[in-house]
Chains A and B, each alone.
Chain A
Amino acid sequence: MLNINGLTCGYACLPCVASAKKGPSSAGNPGFVVRNINLQVANGEIIGIIGPNGSGKTTLLRAITRVLKPARGSILLEGKDIWRMKMNELARRIAVVAQSTETGFMTVEEFVLLGRIPYYGKFRFMETRNDLTIARDAMALTDSLKLKDQFMSQISGGERQLALIARALAQEPKLLLLDEPTTYLDITHQVGILDLVRRLNRNFGLTVIMVLHDLNLAGEYCHRIALLDQGEIRKFGPPEEVLDYSIIEEVYKTVVVVEKNPISKKPYVLAISEAARELSAETTRQKH
């Protein structure tokens, strides 16, 4: 589905977005935010990308969406170099749920219909019945149909995220990219969004790559996880392999305990506070 070979890129040359935020530049190799990334994503997989702040997660997503041009390496989508595709051809295959989207003054339905733009012909300006049906279906799938006449600025954060996913689905993509889809959401909405992603994956074979901050959610929902550290892939594999306490402690420089979720049998990571660490050190000393 997606083959990333030896990808190295940074913000030195910005091909299409002049206003993009300047990314974190990693020490030792100025200019390049991600270096020598190799990632093979199979059809129908859910891939999680995790890593500390500034490790290049969003930059990697930007490279996949053609916002950043790779300095070295290539990204092949279904065997085709994404830089050899037309912009709208790519937009029909890859849809993105970005972290911060300006939504302007429009209703949810108008917003979701924007996802049909890659399908408009050169001299077609109005949406067809087909476009509307697809947009409605996308809204029904994401449970946002009831919001369709409300304004984007007046709905809650969780509903907004649903509308964003609906718009991405209206693009009828094969690959869905999500950049921290659960940030700022309560646990109900976090689980709701990720359950939805999982459902879409299972029912429609949608391939998903998502950046997640929450290691436990990544472990629970992703088939495979790529752990980024200072712009390089530290570990790529199933959650049981990646969420290992020694690797996590090394990359995040934090003391953690990794346990198994009693129901799903997936690993989950517990952070230990400084006070608790001291206390446990104290008790071990006393025992000796």
Chain B
Amino acid sequence: MKTKSRRAHWTAAILILGGLLALTGIVSLCLGSARIPLAKILPALAGGGNTMEHAILCDVRLPRILLGIAVGGALSLAGVILQGMFRNPLVEPYTMGISGGAALGVCLAILLRLGSSFGVWSLPLAGSIGAAATIFAVYLLSTGKRGLNIRNLLLIGIMISFICSSLITLIMAVARTEDLHGIIFWIMGSLEQPNMLLVKIAMVVSIASLGLAYLFCLELNALALGEEEASHLGISVENTKRLLFILASVMTGLSVSAAGIIGFVGLVVPHFMRLFLGSDHRILLITSWLCGGIFLVFCDALARTIISPTELPVGVVTGLLGGIIFVYVLCRNPAGEKRCSI
């Protein structure tokens, strides 16, 4: 009975979030410096490639929304995975310094002009390598003789973030003027990505990561009990951790290389999902991915319209909005603290 009602609950959550994602996407298509009414969207999308609306929708807004979904989903998913693995609600790509590492990788790739020799893959690849190197360094440094220390992990993550941002500043100081724009774009975080291929790659990798991560949902549930207990339940802890680490760095690296540093998504979205749905990763992974997409597309729509025609960097909006909503919910809900700590 309970299982049935839970299953219904979960299905409802997925359907609602899926519907919300579609709605946010459609509304976001309408919004912008040139408003396109809802009724015109379908004809414009279906119509030939010569109308102005078609060009705006297909070349500017649609890629942006798709990238928002892909990046938002990937960042939230990375957040859920890392939080589940470390049993700490404060770790996410941004606080662990992974975003910083990925940004450093991307900036180096721009500086060294790797794009001309390796093509479109160079930036995602450089981002992923940077992210993986950071995760590895953070993990290695915070795992002392007495095992993994979460407080150390967070502090080292923040320090590595600082080091990376200093190095990025150094790169900016020596960079050519024409590269500077690209670097700043990556630091601020923006969904304006002219390269449609990169958007497609981001989407495919993001969805594939969700599928792959889902294979580990039971392992993540078991890890909530601690690593030793998980191994008592027949989980090969080291293998699982290694694979999830790689997955989290690929997702973060890809997100950063496609959209720059966008903080807070991986922290706020999983928290929200836990508040409503509990800490079972079988539902948490899917809904966090969906909600991450909603959140980022929504924030981007705000960033584009709030002081139109000037655009805000989407990272500013996610940080402000995410932080405020989070504090509000935490204060309003007395059980919030307990529910959030996984």
Contact = CB atoms under 8 A, between A and B. Distances in A.
A162 interface: no
Given A19-B227, A67-B231, A125-B217, A105 B339 contact: yes
Given A22-B145, A88-B234, A126-B282, A105 B218 contact: no
A117 B147 contact: no
B146 A22 contact: yes
B59 interface: no
Interface stretch (B113-121, B176-184, B272-280): B272-280
Interface string B123-159: 0000000000000000000010111100000000000
Nearest to B224: A104
Nearest to A135: B3
Interface residues of B, number: 38
Interface in B180-205: none
Contacts of B278: 105-106, 110
Count chain A CB atoms within 10 A of each CB in B143, B232, B278, B279 and give the residue with the most: B232
A114 B237 contact: no
Contact of B228 (A20, A95, A127, A153): A20
B234 A106 contact: no
A65 interface: yes
Contacts of B279: 104-106
A71 interface: no
B35 interface: no
Most buried by B among A67, A109, A117: A117
B214 to A, nearest CB: 7
Interface in A2-24: 15-22
Contacts of A15: 238
Interface of B: 2-3, 7, 87, 143, 145-148, 214-215, 217-218, 221-222, 224-229, 231-238, 274, 278-280, 282, 338-339, 341-342
14 contacts: A15-B238, A16-B236, A86-B234, A87-B235, A101-B225, A104-B87, A104-B279, A105-B278, A105-B341, A105-B342, A106-B280, A114-B222, A114-B233, A126-B7
Interface of A: 15-22, 62, 65-67, 86-92, 94-96, 98, 100-106, 109-110, 114-115, 117-118, 120, 123, 125-127, 132, 148-149, 153, 171
